[in-house]
């Protein structure tokens, strides 16, 4: 009985592969006639895929869920553009740009979207370029609610609602209800596994607010990056730089006397070494947040690029029957890994922040007998 | 063009180095956990910190490349 089943399965696979083979072979025969044509088409697809991926990694003025540039069809929703130009405030929706195809006229001035940036132009939308083909048009000051800004605001509101609700529960009763029961273990996890071991029982309370905010902010943004909305907030180096800057400032401003002493006058080494160590230690304080910034940015960006490249395999090989399932399976696999990475990066960012803060606030144990000899 | 190729070779070397490092960290952590299963939590935390530091270095180098 079992043997029969196995044979059936094998047969099914054999048939399936044959069918796939036929499908896979047929287009090739067609294409051989116009191979030169095919070649140029393939190069074009590759270029288009590259452009699409780099476009995705950047910030933009609207949410685009689906777009077909050949038919000029775009499905998504616009976001407000806020410009300050000649001392005047200009507010309009990004749909005025028609995805860079048209010039937006606002209050007698004309603006054009060119490669994801807004330039001031004339009514016809003429651009001027320098020798390296960079536009020389004037750029207005841009305070737009872009995709990233919108997502950050959304996340902030979400965090406020979720944790405001949780805090209210603790004031009224003692046990949280609803979604608070999901959040409570996470908060306790951050406290018991990240804050207390790294900062110490005596001082961790002061930094819990910062650590919890960073943890949930990064985690929720990482997870939002996995949705089809196509936001890439934590994969934007400006945003990770800002987060790392907060860690840097919190570390430096909460540092103890001993921390500064170890930077500017390292105890227990010869005087010449003390002088040599000053720039090294100062640089060391900067490399820590720099590593935080690069790690989060590179991890999330790499994840997005890998997922999009795997999907793009279908278009590059131009064979949906054979590559479709492979591509979908690989994408699913990487997506699941990315879910883990989303948590892991939030955890590591918080953990290392706590570690740096812990190093800075640590109370120094004085051993007068041994300290200066070693 | 030539400089780009060299950069790619460099990127490959970085990945090899990072892979070796991660392998060593992971292997040592496994050994340590096998010796002292009750300390697995602490070992995991330390492992992740070192892995994160290594990864940060590797990514910094990759971006420069």
Q: Is A298 close to B62, i.e. CB distance below 8 A?
A: yes
- Residue A201 DSSP symbol: T
Give CA–CA dist A116/A83, Å, rounded.
Answer: 15
Query: A352 with A292: CB under 8 angstroms?
Result: yes
Domain ranges of chain A: 74-144, 148-361
- Supply the pLDDT for residue A315: 79
Give CA–CA dist A181/A262, Å, rounded.
Answer: 43
A305: its two tokens = 């690029």
Q: Is A351 close to B60, i.e. CB distance below 8 A?
A: no
A348 touches chain B (CB under 8 A): yes
3-class state of residue A117 by DSSP: strand
Q: Is A299 close to B60, i.e. CB distance below 8 A?
A: no
Query: A107 with A92: CB under 8 angstroms?
Result: no
Count of domains observed in chain B: 1
Query: CB within 8 A of A84, min separation 6: which ones?
Result: A90, A140, A141, A143
Of A193, A290, A295, the CB nearest to B52: A295
First to last CA, chain B: 14
How far is CA A335 from each of CA A64, A327, B29, rounded to the nearest angstrom?
21, 12, 27
B35 CA to chain A: closest CA distance, Å?
22
Domain boundaries, position B19: 2-64
Question: Looking at beta carbons, which pairs linking A267-271 to residues 24 or more positions away fall under 8 Å?
Answer: A267/A371, A267/A372, A268/A371, A268/A372, A268/A373, A268/A374
A347 touches chain B (CB under 8 A): yes
Q: Is B49 close to A294, i.e. CB distance below 8 A?
A: no
3-class state of residue A41 by DSSP: helix
**Which ipTM did the prediction report?**
0.71
pLDDT tens for each residue of A323-357: 788 888 988 988 998 898 899 899 999 999 999 99
pLDDT tens for each residue of B9-49: 888 898 899 999 999 999 999 999 999 989 888 888 888 88
A8: its two tokens = 């059936």
Residue A110 β-bridge partners: A105, A121
Query: Which residues in chain A are closer than 8 Å to B55, comparing Cβ atoms?
Result: 295, 299
What pTM was computed for the model? 0.77
Give DSSP secondary structure letters for A284-346: HHHHHHHHHHHHHHHHHHHHHHHHHHHHHHHHHHT-HHHHHHHHHHHHHHHHHHHHHHHHHHH
Query: A61 with A147: CB under 8 angstroms?
Result: yes
Give CA–CA dist A53/A56, Å, rounded.
Answer: 5
3-class state of residue A115 by DSSP: coil
Query: CB within 8 A of A16, min separation 6: which ones?
Result: none
Which CATH number is B7's domain given?
1.20.20.10
For every one of its 374 residues, what pLDDT tens digit does chain A have, with 9 covering 90 and above?
A: 455 555 555 555 544 444 444 344 444 444 444 455 555 666 677 777 777 777 777 777 777 777 666 666 677 777 888 877 776 777 777 777 766 667 777 766 777 777 777 777 776 667 777 777 777 777 777 788 888 898 999 999 999 998 888 888 888 877 777 788 888 899 999 999 889 988 888 888 889 999 999 999 999 999 998 887 778 888 888 899 999 999 999 999 988 888 888 888 888 888 888 888 889 888 988 988 988 888 898 888 888 888 888 888 887 777 777 778 888 898 898 899 889 889 989 999 999 999 999 988 887 665 554 444 43
Question: Looking at beta carbons, which pairs linking B4-13 to residues 24 or more positions away fall under 8 Å?
Answer: B7/B65, B8/B65, B10/B61, B10/B65, B11/B62, B11/B65
Residue of B52, B54, B61, B63 to mutate, interface with A, max A Cβ within 10 Å:
B52
Q: Is B52 close to A355, i.e. CB distance below 8 A?
A: no
Number of A/B CB contacts below 8 angstroms equals 33
Burial class of residue B23, CB neighbours in 10 A (0-12, 13-18, 19+): exposed
CA dihedral (A212, A217, A223, A227) in degrees, to 10, reads 150
Give DSSP secondary structure letters for A241-268: HHHHHHHHHHHHHT--HHHHHHHHS-TT
Q: Which residue does chain A place closest to B62, by CA atoms?
A: A298
Crossing angle of helices A320-361 and A271-317, in 10° steps, is 160
Give CA–CA dist A312/A187, Å, rounded.
Answer: 39
Query: Which residues in chain A are closer than 8 Å to B59, comparing Cβ atoms?
Result: 294-295, 298-299
- Residue A129 DSSP symbol: B
CA angle A263, A269, A271 (to 5 degrees): 85
């Amino acid at each position: 009985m079992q043997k029969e089943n196995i044979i059936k399965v094998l047969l099914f696979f054999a048939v399936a592969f044959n069918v796939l083979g036929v499908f896979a072979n047929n287009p090739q025969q067609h294409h051989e006639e116009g191979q030169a044509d095919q070649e140029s088409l393939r190069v074009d697809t590759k270029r288009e895929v590259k452009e699409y991926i780099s476009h995705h990694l950047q910030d933009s003025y609207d949410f685009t869920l689906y777009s077909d540039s050949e038919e000029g069809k775009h499905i998504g929703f616009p976001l407000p553009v806020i410009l300050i130009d000649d001392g005047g405030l200009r507010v309009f929706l990004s749909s005025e740009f028609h995805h860079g195809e048209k010039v937006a006229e606002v209050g007698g001035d004309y603006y054009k979207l060119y490669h994801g940036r807004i330039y001031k132009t004339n009514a016809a939308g003429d651009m001027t370029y320098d020798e390296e083909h960079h536009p020389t048009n004037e750029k207005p000051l841009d305070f737009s609610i872009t995709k990233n800004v919108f997502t950050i605001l959304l996340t902030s509101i979400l965090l406020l609602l979720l944790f405001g609700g949780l805090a209210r529960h603790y004031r009224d009763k003692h046990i949280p209800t609803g979604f608070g029961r999901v959040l409570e273990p996470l908060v306790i996890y951050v406290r018991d596994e990240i804050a207390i071991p790294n900062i110490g029982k005596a001082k961790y309370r002061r930094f819990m607010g910062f650590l919890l905010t960073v943890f949930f902010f990064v985690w929720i943004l990482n997870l939002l990056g996995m949705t089809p909305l196509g936001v890439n907030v934590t994969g934007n180096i400006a945003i990770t730089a800002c987060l790392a800057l907060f860690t840097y400032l919190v570390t430096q401003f909460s540092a103890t006397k001993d921390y500064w002493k170890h930077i500017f006058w390292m105890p227990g080494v010869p005087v010449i070494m003390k002088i040599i160590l000053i720039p090294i230690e100062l640089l060391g304080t900067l490399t820590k947040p720099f590593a935080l910034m690069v790690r989060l940015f590179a991890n999330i960006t790499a994840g997005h690029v890998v997922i999009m490249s795997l999907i793009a395999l279908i278009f590059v090989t131009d064979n949906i029957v054979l590559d479709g399932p492979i591509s979908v399976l690989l994408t699913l696999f990487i997506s699941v890994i990315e879910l883990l990475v989303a948590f892991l990066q939030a955890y590591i960012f918080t953990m290392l922040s706590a570690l740096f803060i812990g190093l800075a606030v640590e109370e120094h144990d004085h051993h007068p007998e041994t300290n200066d000899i070693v | 063009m030539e400089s780009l190729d060299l950069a790619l070779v460099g990127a490959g070397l970085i990945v090899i180095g990072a892979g070796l490092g991660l392998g060593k960290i992971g292997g040592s952590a496994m050994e340590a956990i096998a010796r002292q299963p009750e300390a697995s939590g602490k070992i995991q935390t330390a492992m992740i910190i070192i892995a994160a530091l290594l990864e940060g270095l590797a990514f910094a180098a990759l971006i420069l490349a």
